[in-house]
Amino acid sequence: MRITSAMLADSAQVHGGKLFVLGGGFDTIRTRSVPAVHKALTVVMVAEIDPGERETNLSIEVTLMNEDMQALGPRASGTLRVGEAPAHRPGQRSVVPLAIPFFDLRFPAEQGYVFRVSHQDTELTRIPFSVLVVPQNPT
């Protein structure tokens, strides 16, 4: 398994084997102060599955980390199982879209963060982003 693309989005869902993304592709969360709570964020990915990996359980873990690669607590883990694809040519890989939502994420400081995506303790990809404090303009 390999990840061919990954990004953050406000929201995303998979329907009929297709990925529907709303507000995707950003790398900065702007806030008025820290610690900050971000109500909803979705990790969006496209995985490519080799024919030999079909009909097996593929574990995936997504972990929120700070810029020093220390886990902050929020994580999602699950198992992906891709069946045989009768519409594929022999030896053809399967493309699998994934949308993994996170809610009420707490960011303790203005700094860089990363979602680390792994399979069996092997890192597949990182999705880096920053939390930036932008003070409210006085009126």
The ranges assigned to domains in the chain are: 2-133
The CATH class for the domain spanning 2-133 reads mainly beta
Please give the order of strands across the beta sheet that includes 18-24.
Answer: 18-24, 2-15, 36-49, 94-107
pTM score: 0.90
Tens of pLDDT along 24-48?
999 999 999 999 999 999 999 999 9
CA atoms of 139 and 124, how far apart (whole Å): 47
